[in-house]
A and B are shown apart, each in its own frame.
Chain A
Amino acid sequence: MSMPFYVAPEQVMKDRADYARKGIARGRSLVATVYDGGILICAENPSSTLRKVSEIYDRIAFAGVGKYNEFDQLRIAGVRAADIKGYAYSREDVDARSLANNYAQILGQVFTHEMKPMEVEILVAEVGAGPADDQLFHILYDGTVMDEDRFTVLGGEAEAIAARMEDAWSEGLDLRAALAAAVGALAGPERTLSADDLEVALLERTAERRAFRRIERSDLPALLPVAPAPAEAPVEDGPAEAPES
């Protein structure tokens, strides 16, 4: 007769967390930051059809990294929850905090009770009437919620990207500067990201109702910082970015 092995709960949780983290680290990262006109969400995403960033409600956006089918399922559940709440009560009653709590409950439940944790990290962002009312909720695979007020990084290399973001970020960045900071932080010193590697969306504070706006790939180059000129064809007035000293 076989006896089940005893495994300490600490070990079980640690194994699950390692599993989830490994899954998330396989994908590419994402940065969300406040800027003077609202919230900018910038993801490294080579696909132009499978989205990481999308609209949930009038002033609320969703972003996810990790396993696509899992965060997409969470996204649709969020759209449903928000639309149902707005339908049953009022559009004003739909808020990011309540959605973030809902997500945290589900992720926490799955993490402790299911065979496999969800290999995702998600973001629920809401643009407020003023910069002080902007909300960024970063939710981890185990249901941990973090409330950020400047910027947040989701994904495998979050720490390194956040450190670069910390250097580039300052209060009251405009869209161009915020995008430059986010793209620079995502790319790191060794890489350059072009429009085709990026998915960018905004929550615009001044929008009348639906604040979510995708910046199409064709419109991105105009907003991105001028790439450092390739060695064989130097631009006359030199590279736009100072070389690393």
Chain B
Amino acid sequence: MPFFTPGDDPGPDFAALVRRLGLAPEPPTADVTDRLAITHGTTVVAIRYADGVVMAGDRRATAGNLISHRAIEKVFPADRHSGVAIAGAAGPAMEMVKLFQLQLEHYEKVEGSSLSLEGKANQLGQMVRGNLPAAMQGLAVVPLFAGYDLRRGAGRLFQYDVTGGRYEESNFAASGSGSLHAGTVVKLGFREGLSRGDTVDLAITALFQAADEDSATGGPDVVRGIYPVIATITAEGFSRLDDAEIAERFAALLEVLAGREAGTSRVPETSVETRSDER
């Protein structure tokens, strides 16, 4: 059982306790991506809406040009009123989420009250910053953090860079390889005070369009029934949507998109005959 003298006490900081007990892994000393194919998580988005925040992430993990996992999860509850979504090297990212969840719970138990949302966001920033030596060797982790601020009565979201820079976004944030496309879709569709349904649909569209353009982002897998993980964070807490609801919304989106495609004529492929004509 760990005991410390008062001046030497790590306090409610679980990550510091883990380091003190020698359980934290050493950062690699050389670029690991040179020799190994590292599993990467890809696209996640967070969107603020009327009641809080929607967080969503696709289910694909890639190692180089291969799909290493079809059903990985990238959106997690951090505690009752906040969530974290990860992009980047999957191993260190999962570890970071686990440590972050424990950090918040540990603080709450030791101190008898939870951290403010701001405090939680800063904690995650420090963890990302602590990962910088590993990021320099190819194991970067770039999370999103979102939560319902009970003191302000509103949803808030934060994105990070590899140095631990913490940037609060007012409306939405995206991270990962497909974030450019997903972010653009959200940017065009965002309006103040969106309803839950509209926001979930916007997140679904963003992930679909990212998967359409980015090979590392997974689309809906209708064959296996694997759909993005989507969660809402409101005053009632973190709540993950049922797969059935997401499947239904995806089906509606596919119908709309297929309807649009049905009437369009395709630019003809360069045919063998034309090529022979040219010769």
Instruction: Report A's interface with B, CB cutoff 8 A.
Output: 51, 54-56, 73, 76-81, 83-84, 86-88, 102-103, 105-106
Contact = CB atoms under 8 A, between A and B. Distances in A.
A77 B109 contact: no
A87 B17 CA distance: 11
Interface stretch (B98-106, B116-124, B237-245): B98-106
Interface residues of B, number: 16
A78 B1 CA distance: 7
Chief secondary structure at chain B's binding surface:
helix
- Nearest first, the 5 closest Cβ-Cβ pairs linking A and B are A81-B1, A102-B1, A77-B1, A79-B109, A80-B2
A55 B109 contact: yes
B21 to A, nearest CB: 6
B32 interface: no
A78 to B, nearest CB: 7
Interface of B: 1-3, 14, 17-18, 21, 23, 98-99, 102, 105-106, 109-110, 112
Nearest to B108: A55
Contacts of B2: 77, 80-81, 84
Nearest to B10: A80
Given A54-B112, A80-B17, A87-B23, A106 B106 contact: no
A79 B110 contact: yes
A87 B110 CA distance: 16
A87 B102 contact: yes
Contacts of A102: 1
Nearest to A49: B112
18 contacts: A51-B112, A55-B109, A77-B1, A77-B2, A77-B3, A78-B1, A79-B110, A80-B17, A80-B106, A80-B110, A81-B1, A83-B109, A84-B21, A87-B18, A87-B98, A87-B99, A87-B102, A106-B3
Given A51-B112, A84-B18, A87-B18, A79 B106 contact: yes
Nearest to A58: B105
Given A77-B1, A80-B1, A80-B17, 18 more contacts: A51-B112, A55-B109, A56-B109, A79-B106, A79-B109, A79-B110, A80-B2, A80-B110, A81-B2, A83-B106, A84-B17, A84-B18, A84-B21, A87-B18, A87-B23, A87-B99, A105-B1, A106-B3
Contacts of A56: 109
Nearest to A51: B112
B1 A103 contact: yes
B114 to A, nearest CB: 12
Contacts of A81: 1-2
A39 to B, nearest CB: 18
Contacts of B105: 83
Nearest to A87: B102
Contacts of A76: 110
Contacts of A79: 106, 109-110
A115 B109 CA distance: 31
Contact of B102 (A78, A83, A103, A106): A83
Max chain B Cβ within 10 angstroms of own Cβ: one of A51, A54, A56, A76: A76
A11 B14 CA distance: 43
A181 to B, nearest CB: 27
Given A79-B106, A84-B18, A87-B98, A106 B1 contact: yes
A110 B2 CA distance: 15
Nearest to A57: B109
A96 to B, nearest CB: 14
Max chain A Cβ within 10 angstroms of own Cβ: one of B1, B2, B112: B1
Contacts of A55: 109
Max chain A Cβ within 10 angstroms of own Cβ: one of B2, B17, B21, B23: B2
A68 to B, nearest CB: 13
A83 B258 CA distance: 50
A87 B14 CA distance: 10
A110 to B, nearest CB: 10
Nearest to A212: B109
Contacts of B3: 73, 77, 106
A106 B2 CA distance: 11
Nearest to B99: A87
Contacts of A84: 2, 17-18, 21, 23
